[in-house]
Amino acid sequence: MVRYRGPRLKIIKRFGDLPGLTRKVVIKKQNSQGKEINEQKKPKASAYKIRLNEKQKLRYNYGITESQLLRYVKEARRRKGLTGFLLMQLLEMRLDNIIFRLGLAATIPAARQLVNHGHVLINNKKVDIPSFQCRPNDILSFSGKTKTTTLLKANLNQGSNSNDDVSNSHLEFDPNLLTGKIKNLVKRKDLRFKINDMLVIEYYSRLA
């Protein structure tokens, strides 16, 4: 299954808020009195569909393909600890997500574009792989091109990620130099995207 490139509003109408995919929000319909119109109730979902929806939320939010997500699940299973959290940790430590979390790109797809175009350096070496796994003590910086610097500063000034209420204690960032440092692996309390990760693991367990 390829990476989704269709209408993003359609996806958040179906799955709810996906901060990594888009900043768009669904405007709920109201009647003439300004009260919210309750849409027709949907039939109760099966256990399989609930797990499938959680898996799809994860895919769309982080912008990964089905095969990529399956590889992350297998890697999380190989490691010691809670498989669900380890899966989230692997996704959160991707380079494109780190750039997004620092507020340097409006969405994860926008951050991925920065990486693909060769604007990102890790420890002073160019990295053009969005899935690159960042590690503690890695230093993140950018090419000195004027257009790149202007874009990054514009994103910071606009507060495009709305990260003010989200902890980034595993990250350190200098807005003047536009450099970041990964201090630690992300912890559960610092996860911005809230999801029942165990349902995702259960979904893949049924397919094993």
**Annotated domain spans of the chain:** 8-30+45-90+193-207, 94-185
Give phi and psi for 36, each to the nearest 5.
-70, 135
Burial class of residue 32, CB neighbours in 10 A (0-12, 13-18, 19+): exposed
Q: What is the pTM of this model?
A: 0.85
Bridging pattern class, strands 171-174 and 179-182: antiparallel
Q: Which CATH superfamily is 8-30+45-90+193-207 part of?
A: Ribosomal protein S4/S9, N-terminal domain (1.10.1050.10)
pLDDT tens, 22-66? 876 655 555 555 555 555 566 788 999 999 999 999 999 999 999
Chain Cα centroid distance, residue 21: 7
- Asked whether 55 and 200 are in contact (CB, 8 A), the reply is yes
Which of helix, strand or coil describes residue 41?
coil
User: Residue for token digits 């692996």?
Assistant: 185
Chain Cα centroid distance, residue 8: 14
Which of helix, strand or coil describes residue 57?
helix
Supply the DSSP symbol for 192: S
pLDDT tens, 151-188? 999 988 876 444 445 678 999 999 999 999 999 999 99
pLDDT tens, 77-96? 999 999 999 999 999 999 99
- Give bridge partners of residue 133 from the DSSP assignment: 94
- Asked whether 131 and 68 are in contact (CB, 8 A), the reply is yes
User: Which architecture characterizes domain 94-185 according to CATH?
Assistant: Roll (3.10)
